[in-house]
Amino acid sequence: MDAFQLQGLTLDSLRRVDLPEPQPGPGQVRIRVAAASINYRDYALATGRYQPELPRPFVPLSDGVGRIEALGAGVSDFEIGERVVGHYTTQWLDGPFRSGNHLSKLGGPLDGWLARSIVLPADSIARVPAFLDDAEASTLPVSGLTAWSALRKLQLQSGASVLVQGTGSVSLMALQLAVARGYRVIATTSDAAKAERLRALGAQEVIDYTQRSDLAAAVRELTDGRGVDGIVDVVGGQQFLQLLQAAADNAHIVAIGFLQSMNVDGNLIGPLISHQLNIHGISVGSLQDLREYLREVEAHRIRPVVGARFSFEQGAEAIASIAKGREVGKPVVVFD
């Protein structure tokens, strides 16, 4: 089987290899991969910036879609030919998160989607809305579900205000879901063309953070001084301090990403106490969450924003592209 393996802590260690064709065991299915999308986690793993302790080699990429081509013994809920996505954290089926679930993640430590076929437990897959193409569907299980879980944590009512950051896949899906639910969305970017795209997707206001160094002041100007009710933070680092100042009393902030850094040095406790803020950490969601999210995508006919498209042979280039941030939307590897 044609596949890529990440064998070390640099992107140069990604090797195209010939692996034995995987066979589904009892309760498993084999999926012929049609498309796989790139998350920042994939890039961080491939460059040694995140979880360097994970054993190598493994097949990268946590997100993908394909059609079932073989059923293991005892599988009766799915049929050959059905189009499905795989749940990223394969053992997290329902209920609250448990730390042991980290060991069941696709694209490290378990083999992911940058291969012609993948074998998954039948109880860790979900059917794809028919109106989405393969590239769109491949973006759903990680960044899409993360955005959905983030909005659930924000506990907002229709008309509430939400701040999202940039044009990455989590932020874009959070924007699309928030608009569908009737929230007022304020977005940030550093590019005029991207600002227009954000407005086209439904953002009511867009802040150019290269022109406004005081993000909190800009947000408060747009909210009559009160701040936003919810924040989806994908950046992390020192800018988190400004987010605390941009939040309204009793606001909820969801910490998802670490594009800038995992470290924050400054006054965190003061704003938390004085404004009674609520901070949540989010890492995707359960399989039942994924299925509920997919139902909402179908109900609102939400089409995820796909960025650059790559061929299977361009696997390394696709992963590297996540660091450039030039495209709006999520990079996708489309298999031939």
Q: Read off the pLDDT of residues 119-132 as tens digits, 9 standing for 90 and up.
A: 999 999 999 999 99
Which domains does the chain carry? 2-139+304-334 (3.90.180.10), 144-281 (3.40.50.720)
pLDDT tens-digit readout, 258-313: 666 677 777 778 878 888 999 999 889 999 999 999 999 999 999 999 999 999 99
* Nearest by Cα to 214 from 186, 190, 243: 243
Tokens of 111: 């083999």
- DSSP assignment of 144-195: IHHHHHHHHHHTPPTT-EEEEETTSHHHHHHHHHHHHTT-EEEEEES-HHHH
User: What's the CA gap between 228 and 7, in Å, rounded?
Assistant: 44
pLDDT tens-digit readout, 145-156: 999 999 999 989
Look over the chain and give the mean of its residue pLDDT values, rounded to a whole number.
93
Whole-model pTM: value is 0.91
Residue 170 has pLDDT above 80, yes or no: yes
User: What pLDDT sits at residue 4?
Assistant: 97
The answer to whether 276 and 249 are in contact (CB under 8 A) is: yes
Residue 68 has pLDDT above 90, yes or no: yes
Quick count: other Cβ atoms within 10 Å of Cβ 26? 10
**Averaged pLDDT, 74-99:** 95
User: What pLDDT sits at residue 11?
Assistant: 94
* pLDDT confidence band for 257 (50 / 70 / 90): confident
Buried/exposed code over 233-249 (b: 16+ C-beta within 10 A; e: otherwise): bbbbbebbbbbbbbbbe
For residue 107, give every residue at least 6 positions away whose Cβ sits within 8 Å of its Cβ, in sequence order, or none.
Answer: 41, 42, 45, 58, 59, 60, 61, 62, 63, 88, 113, 114
Number of helices and strands in the chain (H, E): 10, 15
**Averaged pLDDT, 312-328:** 88
Tokens of 131: 């109106």
User: What's the CA gap between 280 and 95, in Å, rounded?
Assistant: 17
User: What's the CA gap between 332 and 61, in Å, rounded?
Assistant: 10
User: What's the CA gap between 103 and 108, in Å, rounded?
Assistant: 8
